């Protein structure tokens, strides 16, 4: 069984504590030995060194008696020092043992106190699952590394909760959107099969309704596939021009715009970028289609592309109903629509959601701003292709 981090911390603290105590005791015993029984008025070491040694012919002289007295005094002091330090060694060892026991206990408690937030974090991690993402650690206490770790974990769980909620909402919306055309096809088939005297015209009308419903389901599935592909990341890194993509999107949307009486203007300047051409074409096409379909009869659509080298921009502005500023961000969520001011059907509610996913996959930004008189202006900015921009600038100057 591997030792826990609490046990390792306890042992590390205890070793440091015992090492410090032993060092202090050793220094104390050394100082005690050197200072014990030292006479303030006693002879200095220099006096002892200069005192003549007794000789056989002068054993009874005063100098000989003085030398013997000094030697006896030094021997007695050394013996007393040794005896005192020896007597103090037992209590010191006992005190060190008590300090070791008490230190281990204190270190164990302190380590447990310090690691308590980690146990709380571990317990919360074990409790939290897909169905219990609402729980948080909410660690209290000083703003230290452990609280910062717990707060970071809470923020991560919050993002996961929002992601799971969006995923469940997306799946529910997709199922609802797909159920409607399938129900139309099924109901039409059941009605026609239940009529024994159905005419050819009735069968033709039923087939047309089925084609419309299946077309709606097909557009929805195409949108879901495009959204999934864009969210999975850019699959290519090829040079392309947003101006060319905008020209193609305007040409495709022209019949629908003409039927609605919309006036379409464009200012398409070179806007070279690097990315997935298929996704970028879909991005611009969705912007133009969204501007055409969410408009009012006789309205307008303006498309502008430009580049300044570091960034390429495509801006699409349309007329239409007045959009509250609080509703703009919601338009970038899947299956979110504003029912007012639409001139054409066929919307899946995925257009701007796909646009945002493609923009994020290309490390760009997308913003939308409602116009005071009605309508919306959507601006997409992507990292530009400097090489192509410089080449086109040189060509234009030549």
On whether both 244 and 378 belong to a single domain, the answer is yes
240 and 186 within one domain: no
Mean pLDDT of successive 10-residue stretches along the chain, which has 398 residues: 74 82 78 60 54 53 67 71 72 78 82 78 75 74 77 84 72 68 78 76 80 74 68 72 94 90 93 88 90 90 91 94 85 67 54 85 90 91 72 43
Q: What is the CATH number of the domain that holds 210?
A: 1.10.287
The pLDDT assigned to 396 comes to 37
- Are residue 178 and residue 248 in the same domain, yes or no? no
Asked whether the beta carbons of 320 and 296 are under 8 A apart, the reply is yes
Q: ∠282-285-286 over CA atoms, to 5°?
A: 85
Please tell me whether residues 381 and 255 are part of one structural domain: yes
Q: Could you tell me if 196 and 241 lie in one domain?
A: no
Predicted local distance difference test score (pLDDT) of residue 387: 60
pLDDT digits (tens, 9 = 90+) for 220-245: 677 667 666 666 665 678 899 999 99
CB contact at 8 A, 272 and 307: yes
Q: Could you say which of 230, 245, 268 is where a domain stops? A: 230
- Residue 152 in any domain: the answer is no
Are 256 and 374 in the same domain?
yes
The verdict on residue 145 lying in a domain is no
The residues, any chain, with a CB within 8 Å of residue 176's CB and separated by 6 or more, are 335
10 and 59 share a domain? yes
Q: Do 224 and 241 belong to one domain?
A: no
First to last CA, the chain: 78
Note whether residue 82 is domain-resident: yes
DSSP string, 62-74: HHHHHHHHHHHHH
Measured from the Cβ of residue 324, the count of other Cβ atoms closer than 10 Å reads 9
Final residue before a domain boundary, out of 189, 206, 230: 230
105 plus 215 within the same structural domain = no
CATH number at residue 381: 3.30.565.10
Task: Tell whether 143 is covered by a domain.
Answer: no
What is the number of structural domains in the chain?
3
Does one domain contain both 244 and 382?
yes
pLDDT score at 306? 94
Residue 107 in any domain: the answer is: yes
Single pTM value for the model: 0.54
Structural domain harbouring 369: 236-397
Q: For residue 327, is it within any domain?
A: yes
357 and 290 in a single domain? The answer is yes
Q: With beta carbons less than 8 A apart as the criterion, state whether 246 and 314 touch.
A: yes
In this structure, is residue 148 part of a structural domain? no
Report the b/e string of 171-203 with b at 16+ CB within 10 A: eebbeebeeebeebbeebeeebeeeeeeeeeee
Alpha helices in 277-371, H assignment, sequence order: 277-293, 325-328, 351-361
300-307 and 311-318 strand pairing: antiparallel
Structural domain contains residue 155 = no
Using one digit for the tens of pLDDT, what is the confidence trace for 172-210? 666 766 776 777 778 877 777 777 777 778 778 888 878
Distance CA 74, CA 42 (A): 10
Q: Are residues 247 and 221 in the same domain?
A: no
pLDDT reported for residue 391: 55
């Amino acid at each position: 069984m591997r030792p826990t981090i609490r046990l390792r911390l306890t042992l590390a603290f205890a070793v440091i504590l015992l090492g410090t105590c032993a060092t202090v005791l050793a220094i104390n015993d050394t100082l005690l030995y050197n200072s014990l029984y030292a006479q303030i008025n006693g002879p200095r070491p220099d006096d002892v060194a200069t005192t003549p040694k007794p000789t056989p012919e002068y054993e009874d002289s005063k100098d000989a008696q003085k030398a013997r007295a000094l030697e006896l005094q030094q021997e007695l002091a050394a013996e007393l020092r040794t005896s005192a330090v020896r007597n103090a060694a037992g209590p010191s060892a006992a005190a060190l043992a008590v300090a070791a026991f008490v230190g281990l206990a204190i270190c164990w408690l302190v380590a447990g106190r310090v690691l308590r937030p980690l146990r709380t974090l571990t317990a919360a991690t074990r409790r939290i699952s897909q169905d219990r993402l609402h729980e948080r650690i909410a660690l209290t206490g000083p703003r230290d590394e452990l609280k910062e770790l717990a707060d970071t974990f809470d923020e991560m769980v919050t993002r996961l909760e929002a992601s799971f909620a969006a995923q469940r909402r997306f799946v529910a919306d997709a199922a609802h959107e797909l159920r409607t055309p399938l129900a139309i096809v099924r109901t039409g088939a059941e009605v026609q099969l239940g009529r024994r005297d159905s005419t050819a015209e009735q069968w033709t009308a039923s087939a047309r309704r089925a084609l419309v419903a299946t077309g709606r389901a097909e557009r929805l599935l195409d949108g879901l596939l495009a959204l999934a592909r864009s969210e999975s990341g850019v699959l290519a890194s090829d040079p392309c021009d947003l101006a060319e993509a905008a020209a193609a999107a305007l040409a495709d949307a022209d019949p629908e715009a003409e039927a609605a009486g919309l006036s379409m203007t464009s200012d398409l300047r070179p806007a070279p970028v690097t990315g997935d051409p298929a996704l970028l074409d879909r991005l611009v096409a969705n912007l133009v289609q969204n501007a055409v379909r969410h408009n009012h009869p006789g309205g307008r659509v303006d498309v502008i592309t430009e580049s300044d080298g570091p960034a390429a921009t495509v801006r699409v502005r349309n007329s239409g109903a007045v959009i509250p500023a609080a509703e703009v961000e919601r338009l970038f969520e899947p299956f979110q629509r504003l029912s007012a001011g639409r001139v054409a059907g066929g919307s899946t509610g995925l257009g701007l959601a796909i646009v945002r996913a493609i923009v994020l996959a290309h490390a760009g930004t997308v913003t939308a701003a409602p116009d005071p008189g009605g309508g919306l202006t959507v601006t997409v900015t992507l990292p530009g292709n400097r090489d192509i921009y410089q080449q086109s600038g040189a060509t234009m100057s030549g």
